[in-house]
Amino acid sequence: MKVERTPYTLDFSDITENDHARVGGKCASLGIMTRAGVAVPLGFAVTTDAFAAMLDHHGLRDEIERHLVGLDASDLDSIDRAAQAIRIRIRSHRIPKEAETAIRNAYTALGDNIAVAVRSSATAEDLPDASFAGQQDTYLWVRGADDVVEKVRDCWASLFTTRAVAYREKNAIPHIDVLMSVGVQKMVNARVAGVAMTLDPNTGDRTRIVIDASWGLGEMVVSGVVTPDNFTVEKVLEEIVARKISDKHVELVGDAEVGGTVEREVEAERRMKQCLSDAEVLDVARLAKRLERQSKCPQDVEWAIDADLPDGQNLLALQSRPETVWSRRKKAQPKKPLTDGLMGIVTTLNNPLGSRN
């Protein structure tokens, strides 16, 4: 069932390029991919209107500004104390009734008590000239409307982690201007997951797609807990030109009995086994290539292969954001052209080795 459109919730299929201010970078990307026909797990965005309603209903804006006024970006102890106090205040208040009802109804529309991921989506995230990734919280395998509502509020509070506050202080980003949307998305039972970059992150070479992959959920790859398998694909010819298979010793998987995710050791026969077939590597590369073409800039793509879906329909895009390292670097200045005509001949005669200035 499609999530009803309200001021506080938007189904991914209803999100357009114009909704970034209401749903943040992560949810905007999920919505754009959904509308473009990319396979994305079902879900909805809790809009920034809900977060603003929370702040206004409880008078939290002035309180937040009082905690943050006069902070020194280099004084992490004072930042930590202020950030912790703000998080406690946000978590101590109930979400306004209309917003909470909209969240509960939207979750119910996804299915009967299904497991979901609850992901932060700040309005300053996923921009080519900013690096907000990982600064706010994500909660996996959340089940039940009560827990979803609680985790939405926890995501809002995570806008004021010590790291996030320090980053905004350092970059002169007004704290109260950054709002938080939250994505609530059907949980993927990932057999394999990882990231794909539509350029070589080491060299910036845009003729390459570089893929990291490991068993289970991709958080183990993103967090660096596991050294993933690594594949390099030539973008135009769609050929695997390099691969490195690693010892993938642990995986993060969903556990219905626990009602959450568990970290478990990978059995010996799978640890050094290539976790993606060559055909799957190329499928991931084509997905990343498609998203780059759609977004018109290099992309950092999170993806997963769902063990519950049939082959050919099991590769899902979880997130696509602009690559932020090489996009910030200034383009290299063009080399000075060789002098033409008579002066070129004179230069060559005077400089027989042909070196350029």
Please indicate, yes or no, whether residues 126 and 205 belong to a single structural domain of this protein: no
Residue 351 has pLDDT above 70, yes or no: no
Please give the pLDDT value at position 349.
37
Lowest mean pLDDT among 134-143, 186-195, 209-218: 134-143
- The mean of the pLDDT values for the chain is 87
Q: Within a domain: residue 333?
A: no
In a domain, 357, yes or no: no
pLDDT value of residue 356: 41
* Domain final residue pick, 161, 186, 211: 186
Q: Is the domain of 22 the same as that of 163?
A: yes
State residue 259's pLDDT score. Answer: 74
Q: What is the mean pLDDT of residues 172-192?
A: 91
- Residue corresponding to tokens 């020194």: 72
Among candidate residues 131, 163, 186, the one where a domain is terminated: 186
Residues 143 and 274 in one domain: no
Under 8 Å CB-to-CB from 192, ≥6 apart: which residues? 213, 214, 215, 216, 275, 276, 280, 304, 305
Mean pLDDT over 179-203 rounds to: 95
Evaluate whether 188 touches 207 at the Cβ level (below 8 Å).
no
Same domain, 165 and 31: yes
**Averaged pLDDT, 117-137:** 65
Examine the domain organization and report whether 68 and 96 are in the same domain.
yes
Question: What's 276's domain CATH number?
Answer: 3.30.470.20
Picking from 186, 210, 229, the residue at the C-terminal end of a domain is 186
Mean pLDDT within 4-33: 92
How far, rounded to the nearest angstrom, does the alpha carbon of residue 44 sit from its chain's CA centroid?
16
d(CA 130, CA 127): 5
Together in a domain, 32 and 161: yes
Q: What is the average pLDDT across 209-230?
A: 95
Q: How far is CA 107 from CA 47, 51, 270, in A?
A: 14, 17, 36
Indicate whether 231 and 292 sit together in one domain. yes
Same domain, 128 and 16: yes
Is the pLDDT at 205 greater than 60? The verdict is yes
Comparing 46-50, 64-68, 287-291, which segment has the lowest mean pLDDT? 64-68
Is a pLDDT exceeding 80 seen at residue 9? yes
Whole-number Å distance between alpha carbons of 55 and 346: 74
Domain assignment of residue 349, yes or no: no
In which band, very low, low, confident or very high, does the pLDDT at 340 lie, cut at 50, 70 and 90? very low
pTM given for the model: 0.82
pLDDT tens readout for residues 228-278: 999 999 999 999 999 999 999 999 998 877 778 899 999 999 999 999 999
Between CA 246 and CA 228 the distance in angstroms is 6
Q: Are residues 156 and 31 in the same domain?
A: yes
DSSP category for residue 52:
H
**254 in a domain, yes or no?**
yes
Asked if residue 179 belongs to a domain, the reply is yes
Do both 130 and 223 map to the same domain? no
Mean pLDDT of 301-316: 95
Q: Identify the band that residue 223 occupies on the pLDDT scale cut at 50, 70 and 90.
A: confident
For residue 336, being part of any structural domain is answered with no
Q: Are residues 160 and 222 in the same domain?
A: no
Residues 76, 156 within the same domain: yes
Encoded tokens for 155: 């995501």
Tell me the pLDDT band of 5, cut-offs 50, 70 and 90: confident
pLDDT at 255: 81
The CATH number assigned to the domain holding 166 equals 3.30.1490.20
What is the number of structural domains in the chain? Answer: 2
Q: Which domain holds residue 210?
A: 190-328
Residue 342 forms part of a structural domain: no
